[in-house]
Structure 1
Amino acid sequence: MDKKKSLKNHILFWGVLLFSFALIQFFKEENTESFGAIFAQNLKHLPAYLIATYGFNNVLLQYYYKNRQYILFGLFTIVLFYVASAFDRIFTVYVYEPIFRERPFEQESLLQIFSDWEFLINGYLIPLLMATFAMTINRVIAQKNKHEKALLQLERDKNRAELGALKAQIHPHFLFNTLNNLYALTLQKSDKAPETVATLSAMLDYMLYQCNDKLVPLEKEVTLLENYIALERLRYGDDIEIAFAKANPLPPETQIGPLILLSIIENAFKHGASGSTGIPEIHIDLTWEGSQLYFTVKNTKNRETQVDTTAYTKGIGVSNIKKQLALLYTDYSYEVTDENGWYCVALRIHTERTR
């Protein structure tokens, strides 16, 4: 916290405290003075309040109580409040009364002030203790809030690092698959190769340079999905049926965790299209209702069980998706069904409830 902000907080604290003291005195039954006059009279106690509160919190608590020197802490606390009470009386007698009190009047000597301990305790100690207690509680709450903010920031930094690691896993995996597709097209001397390079370039530009934030615009993620589907259409041609349905228009300013949707689609192509003996089908549906986003991907299953040589489903597939969702959102669901020849992933995200 910078010094200017700290000074403002201290001024605010003392303003509220003195106002509260004046308010209590104003509503006493025997009171006949105005609130302004009472508040002005309370200002004369401020120097003693400052000595007691800051001496107790900045010196005694810091150097004696925290170092477990409890006997010295107790003794110095008694001395501090007695001296502060005496100082409050001295300030009243030698500074305040000569200015505001009508003369002539008799002034107490310093010895009389310090020796009249009963009068000091009854007339000055209680407000000093209340002011000090208020300052101590205020600092405890401030320290607790500061500690909680530090822990929250630490957790956010940790989550950001974990998300970065997860996305770093996705990039090489996606690039490896796409380059294999491009290699196959070049071996066939296909006219689709230049188009594939252009689409891949646009995707990599987005994935490497534009999706480094915690959340990204949904519109850009949808464009990424469309480019990926375009690459797969180039690869498979008429040997696959792909349907991508999305409600129009896209919700304005809606953001989502980057590459989550892509991971689900990539998984569907990998396990639903690669190595299939028939014509595989992949159905993709993207809808939303208010702040709720619904994303469903269905793909036909291969009859022959494939060996996952890349450990996609165990390493950076389903596990990766679940980890990202848990790090980003507090309200979501991720359900997988495997029945009747179809593998279906249903994702729901409340886009406004992020961590």
Structure 2
Amino acid sequence: MERVKKVFVLVHLVLWTLFSLLVVLQLSDEGAWLILTSGFILTCLLVFYGHFYLLTSYSGKKKKRSYYLRLAAIMLIGPLPFVFLHPKGLATWDNSSDYYMMTLVTIVPLFTLLGWLARVTENLVLNTIKKEQLEKQAVETELHYLKSQINPHFLFNTLNNIHTLVYKQAPTAPEAVLGLSSLMRYMIYESNAATVPLSREINYLQDYISLQQLRYKKAPVVDLEIKGDTSSCHIAPLLFIHLMENAYKHSPARLEPGDIKVKVEVKENTLSFSVQNPINKNPDNSLEEPGGIGLPNVRKRLALLYPEQHHLEVNNTGDLFSVILTVHGLQSQPHERETQLLYH
């Protein structure tokens, strides 16, 4: 905001400098042109900025009577510099009144109007910028809230599982602790960026899957397939985690190896992420449909982050639940988002 105000100050200086040069060129042939030019410009400045700052003081106030009285005073006082500095202005009373009335009728109304236009223009620009900043803050707040809605039960369950491993002195306990540490570091620190490398997001997903695997004694229940160059594009952080939570939450308690199928594919500038899981036919909460709160969260974030650049397909066959997310334009996304933030 301060930068915009400095730009307005610079615009005022440039325009007044150009106006002064134009007046000098017009009056340079007159006698005592320097004094005559100074009086004319001082009158213009007095009327223009008198009304300009008067509007600033009374912006949003309802004291119309006080405003009109002060405006009348500015307009009546405005011609005086021109009259006093005019070589013939104070020669006789007739000259003084003629020059005063001529300035009052011609110059004063014009620069009173210009002062109003300048104030209205600046207010319009500043209010537009304030509105955009508030909208940007609201979007960032909502994104932060949506991003933070990761199921806390996962963390508690993971800590309990690690406690069990430590108690049993299992050789996988240190690896589980490192996995949880990496996951928390990513959630707390790295995910604050607008975008992250897709490869880093996949690493986070793999850490999450590894920690969830502590609940199962069989071979990995998640079949994760990765295709394409995941290091060449960026994605909004924590975008896939809700879909993975959803898959675990609504799957049967006993899962066979490979029951949950996850596929990440990068092709040109398009990312495809799909997850499929079997549906638990006897859920603890019969009122909750497969999909839970994860899908609404993902839909809101996608609408804010990738408007008209994504497609989310949800399928429920009764036995299997699948979600396919497609995001376009990933190669240019980090630069585009940075430009948008600078604009706002």
Q: Does 1:240 align with 2:221?
A: yes
Which of 277, 282, 297 pairs up with 2:275?
297
**Match of 1:349?**
327
* Cα deviation, residue 224, structure 1: 0.4
* Cα deviation, residue 53, structure 1: 1.4
1:301-336: CA deviation from partner (whole Å, max 9, x where unpaired): 236242349969676422322333344443333321
Identity %: 25
* Structural RMSD (CA): 4.2
**Match of 2:9?**
10
**Match of 1:103?**
none
Q: Secondary structure at the match of 2:43?
A: helix
* Cα deviation, residue 243, structure 1: 2.6
Q: Secondary structure at the match of 1:251?
A: coil
**Match of 2:266?**
287
Name whichever of 265-274 and 58-67 sits farther off: 58-67
Which of 290, 294, 298 pairs up with 1:317?
294
The equivalences for 1:208-287 within 5 A come to 208-233=188-213, 235-236=215-216, 237-238=218-219, 240=221, 242-251=223-232, 254-256=234-236, 258-272=237-251, 274-276=253-255, 280-287=259-266
Which of 51, 64, 67 pairs up with 2:62?
67
**Match of 2:78?**
84
Stretches of structure 1 that go unaligned for 5 or more consecutive residues are: 94-105
CA distance in 1, matches of 2:188, 2:287: 22
CA distance in 1, matches of 2:17, 2:226: 66
1:14-68: CA deviation from partner (whole Å, max 9, x where unpaired): 4325536877998xxxx8989xxx9998665321122101211223673599433
CA distance in 1, matches of 2:64, 2:204: 65
CA distance in 2, matches of 1:155, 1:262: 26
* AA of the residue aligned to 1:50: L
- TM-score by structure 1 length? 0.72
* Cα deviation, residue 242, structure 1: 0.4
* AA of the residue aligned to 2:112: T
1:245-300: CA deviation from partner (whole Å, max 9, x where unpaired): 13115225x241x212122123223324643478614132232543x43322223x
Greater length-normalized contact order (CA 8 Å, ≥ 6 residues apart): 2
1:52·1:80 contact (CA, 8 Å) conserved in 2?
Answer: yes
* Cα deviation, residue 176, structure 1: 2.7
1:78-104: CA deviation from partner (whole Å, max 9, x where unpaired): 4432431242233233xxxxxxxxxxx
CA distance in 2, matches of 1:123, 1:8: 31
* AA of the residue aligned to 1:85: P
Q: Whose helix fraction is larger, Structure 1's or Structure 2's? A: 1
Q: How many residues align?
A: 328
CA distance in 1, matches of 2:241, 2:165: 23
